[in-house]
Amino acid sequence: MVRYGLPTTNQQPPTNNNQPTTTNQQQPTNNQQPPTMNIDRALFEHKEWLGLLQPIGLVVAPPALIKAQANIDRGKLIELQQKFKEYLAPEPLPNGEPWISDLLAMGKQVLEWPEKVIVRELPAELSVFLRDYGEILQADYGLKSREGNEWLLLIKIVPPGTDLDRAETEKPGQGWNASPQAKF
């Protein structure tokens, strides 16, 4: 994740040599809220990209993203888009949509996931057995925090072209008749 944003008490904000600097600007400390202008811009940026999603299920709220300092570095967007395009499969799906050919490689290179946070064999407690449907819900991969003490993300790989909104079952009359998105 690319982080930028407010200076800490150890850093000075960048100055513009053409503008006078003032010494009465208060720097945020760990216990203080950052200046309102920066929060408003960050809220706008998070709401902007979250507006591109179809928010069904758990969605991270912009204030939580700001608190986690998950800021958007707009200066790197073109570079990130070019990197992202490298992980699209050479042939689109029959409906013309592109798809990611190697999600984990893309995550490491584009989203900067360190290898040490990617878990390929998940513990059983992250699976859920649905007794009434005879079905197990489980992820394929997970991401842990850098400290390794909490789960940040679970990943389920589905075949290219899967309609994430369409209900499906393995066998008619068996299993939970729900979309992949609802199941996950």
Would you place residue 20 in the very low, low, confident or very high pLDDT band (cuts 50, 70, 90)? very low
Structural domain contains residue 84: no
Q: What is the C-alpha to C-alpha distance for residues 165 and 97, in angstroms, rounded to an integer?
A: 16
Domain of residue 40: give its range: 1-8+32-72
Is residue 1 located within the same domain as residue 67? Answer: yes
Report the range of poorest mean pLDDT among 36-40, 48-52, 107-111, 112-116. Answer: 36-40
Is 17 within a domain?
Answer: no
Give the pLDDT of residue 23. Answer: 39
Domain co-membership, 59 together with 1: yes
Top pLDDT among 91 and 50 is at 91
Domain-located, residue 182: yes
Please give the model's pTM, rounded to 2 decimal places. Answer: 0.63
Q: Let me know if residue 148 belongs to a domain.
A: yes
The total number of structural domains that make up the chain: 2
d(C-alpha 57, C-alpha 184), whole Å: 9
Residue 147 or residue 20, greater confidence? 147
Residue 98 included in any domain: no
Query: Could you tell me the strand order of the sheet in which 141-144 lies?
Result: 118-119, 141-144, 151-155
Contacts of the segment 91-96: beta carbons below 8 A, 24+ positions apart? 93/160, 93/161, 94/161, 95/161
CB 152 within 8 A of CB 145: yes
